Amino acid sequence: MELLRNISQQPTNSNRMYEPNQPGSCELRRKRTEDHGHAPAEMSKIITDPATGKCYCRGKVLGKGGFAKCYEMTDLSTSKVYAAKIIPHTRVSKPHQREKIDREIELHRVLHHKHIVHFYHHFEDKDNIYILLEYCSRRSLAHILKARKVLTEPEVRYYLRQIVSGLKYLHEQEILHRDLKLGNFFVSETMELKVGDFGLAAKLEPAGNRRKTICGTPNYLSPEVLNKQGHGCESDVWALGCVMYTMLLGRPPFETTNLKETYRCIREARYSLPSSLSPQAKQLISSLLAKTPEDRPHLDHILRHDFFSQGFVPERLPASCCHSAPEFHVSSPAKSFFKKAAAALFGGKRDKVKYYETLNKLTKEEEEIYKLRHDLKKTVISQQQQNKQMTEVRKGLPPTTRDTIRLIVRGSLGSCSSSSECLEDSTTGSVAETITSVLRGCLENMPKGEPNCSNLQWVTKWVDYSNKYGFGYQLSDHIVGVLFNNGTHMSLLADKKTVHYYAELGQCSVFSTSDVPEHFVGQVTVLKYFAHYMEENLMDGGDLVSQPDTHMPRLYLLQWLKSDRALMMLFNDGTFQVNFYHDHTKIILCTQREEYMLTYINEERVSSTFRLSSLLTSGCPADLRQRMEYSLNMLLQRLEP
């Protein structure tokens, strides 16, 4: 809401503006004249709704806008506090001014969403119009940023996730906000963000019928709005990019000392991305601030970006974040032990003695785990050195797949479990060789052309924390697995009560989360943490679901590999999955009833499943074929001697 921001606290050039000779410019000139003239009559402290007889007590000023002021206002019968937007009739005496207020009321009153400032009631008396809105005691993000200067990336993820949620709701109602900025994002007592100020909001019109009025806040205007092409959903997305940039760096991306230069920078989409930003943050900002509207991501795609999927998103922020940077810790009743155990099991040195003193003595299994971790470390380093030397792929593949792929190879489990669905000789190498042979055979014999679903198990969420502990993932049947840096694997079944532990494939230990062997406490703590993190912070990757399996999990990770473009995962039963970062598409190849099935999940997270035998006769779309070729390329690099 326009009046909840304090104009004097906004950055340079950040006040809402209207282009000269457009509707609205006279209001700002008139306001300045009135402000320098005689003061209006003092408003009463007690305000009565003529229609209901309810009495309200007017409190302190919360903010000012072009037409109005916003006050705290308390219902004297219930003690409920509102943010009241109070507009003098003298400020909206002309028909088009009154129409603007009526339009704002009509748009806002029907909105009901947890991340939209709630509209409660409106009334008027002989002097003023009163709009009663949800009271946000932490004020706005503009106030928070003024105190903090910059925000941390986890905080920005937290706020952006809520802004996108509210904005998506608005766009679904075919409403454009048209003035997204820090001063219009309000923060409740519980640190929940609410999108407000619908003074410039408008119904979405077809491209040809859009009003060409240049309205909004100078630093947040999009190129198409400046060029009088009208305001669409993409213009709100552009403003979102400006908001993200401002939160991370403390200044808008196009701010200059000269308004004409600011507009020139906006039209050219010319701004700087400091090295202090993470690569994921830079990538997301660049996509949001794409010069061409069609090149900006849809709201549905924003939260699937690596900036969110590969970074910590807090569930809640403490109120102290309003004035000081937060400290994020792992929330666990066994936090102190967790740190010692994790450090000892996964690479720490100084805490190792303390950990084993806690356990009193080393068991044989602990010795084996330690040796395995040590051996794995040498193996991974050796594999990485080999992969760095690879500069081209095998001959015979199409030119589109000849990009240099730098693989990071992780995982060491190497033989099959007792599951009847496993391959006969399911070492990591044999799984990769089998999949390579099948995939290459399909591609070499498949015609070009355009060509449905089993209870498929696949990875819906994943998190790479291998710099400390390992690689975590969640399957479509809600089993959570972790392939630890020491080469061991744990699965937490869908019942959240049963753990399966593999020191080696074919050697499975089963125990309850309520009765964890002492020497597994550290790893189980990590497993639970991964499960909680993915459940709370990551979105599912597609529309396929599987029935939860509370018995022996048939699928667990043997090895994962990363390139610049994709993540590849190999599983014990021969399932092979590749996730592509840039568009979040996925390929899953698996055997079902002794037949190979290939599932493709597209950018819209919609899945299609094909028999490999049918692809050999019918062919497949070009985008799928391209991804199959890249996946084969990754496998070939994995097998390169």
Q: Which residues contact 271 (CB under 8 A, 6 or more apart)?
A: 245, 253, 254, 265, 289
- How confident is the model at residue 558, as a pLDDT? 86
Q: What's the one-letter identity of residue 476? A: S
Between 336 and 77, name the one with better pLDDT.
Answer: 77
Say which residue, 391 or 442, is predicted with more confidence.
442
pLDDT in tens, 564-607: 889 999 888 888 899 998 888 999 988 877 788 899 998 888 88
Report, in angstroms and rounded to the nearest whole number, the Rg of the chain calculated over CA atoms.
29
pLDDT digits (tens, 9 = 90+) for 243-292: 999 999 999 999 988 889 999 999 999 999 998 899 999 999 999 999 99
What does 451-496 look like in DSSP terms, one character per residue?
Answer: --------EEEEEEETTTTEEEEEETTS-EEEEETTS-EEEE-TTS
Give the pLDDT score at 550: 45
Per-residue pLDDT of 149-186, as tens digits, reads 999 999 999 999 999 999 999 999 999 999 999 999 99
Model confidence pTM above 0.85: no
CA geometry: angle 120, 121, 127, nearest 5 deg: 140
Domains of the chain: 2-134 (3.30.200.20), 141-320 (1.10.510.10), 399-639 (3.30.1120.30)
Task: Tell whether the model's pLDDT for residue 614 goes beyond 50.
Answer: yes
Do the beta carbons of residue 624 and residue 490 sit within 8 Å? no
Spatial separation of the C-alpha atoms in residues 589 and 565, rounded to whole Å: 19
**Cα 577 to Cα 561: distance, rounded to the nearest angstrom:** 11
- Please tell me the distance from the alpha carbon of residue 540 to that of residue 478, in angstroms, as a whole number: 11
pLDDT of res. 34: 41
Is residue 45's pLDDT more than 50?
A: yes
Query: What does the pLDDT read at residue 41?
Result: 57
pLDDT above 60: residue 93: yes
Residue (of 575, 523, 490) closest to 482 by Cα position: 490
Residue 122 pLDDT exceeds 60: yes
According to DSSP, the residues that pair with 559 across neighbouring strands are: 570
Beta-carbon-side half-sphere exposure of residue 543 (alpha carbons within 13 Å): 11
pLDDT at 309 over 90: no
Of the two residues 536 and 391, the one the predictor is more confident about is 536
Banded model confidence at residue 382, pLDDT cuts 50, 70, 90? very low
Q: What are the tokens at 336?
A: 């102190």
pLDDT at position 546 is 54
Instruction: Give the pLDDT score at 641.
Output: 55
Average pLDDT estimate for 461-473: 88
pLDDT value, residue 538: 76
DSSP assignment of 583-638: T--EEEEEEETTEEEEEEE-TTS-EEEEEHHHHHHH---HHHHHHHHHHHHHHHHH
Whether 199 has a pLDDT exceeding 80, the answer reads: yes
Look at residue 209 in the predicted model and tell me its pLDDT.
62
Which stretch, 114-118, 464-468, 613-617, 625-629, has highest mean pLDDT?
A: 114-118
Amino acid making up residue 108: H
Place of tokens 């050195």: 385
Backbone conformation region of residue 529, classed left if phi is above 0, alpha if psi is from -120 to 50, else beta: alpha
Distances (CA, A) of 17 to 204, 217, 221, 419, 633: 20, 6, 10, 67, 54
Please identify which of the residues 75, 102, 125, 179 carries the catalytic annotation. Answer: 179
- 377 is known to lie in a ligand binding site: no
pLDDT of 94 higher than 60: yes
Q: Which residue has the higher pLDDT, 378 or 634?
A: 634
Give tens-digit pLDDT for 426-444: 456 667 777 787 788 777 7
Q: Which residues of 335-349 are buried (b: 16+ CB within 10 A; e: fewer)?
A: eeebbbbbbbbbebe
Q: Which of 510, 291, 296 is nearest to 417 (CA)?
A: 510
Q: Lowest mean pLDDT: which of 151-155, 479-483, 572-576, 637-641?
A: 637-641
Burial of 219 from C-beta contacts in 10 A (0-12 / 13-18 / 19+): buried
pLDDT of residue 64: 84
Dihedral sign, Cα of residue 100, residue 102, residue 107, residue 109: positive
State the CB neighbour count (10 A cutoff) for residue 416: 21
In the DSSP assignment, the letter for residue 116 is: B
Per the annotation, the verdict on 179 as an active-site residue is yes
**pLDDT tens digits for range 283-299:** 999 999 999 999 999 99
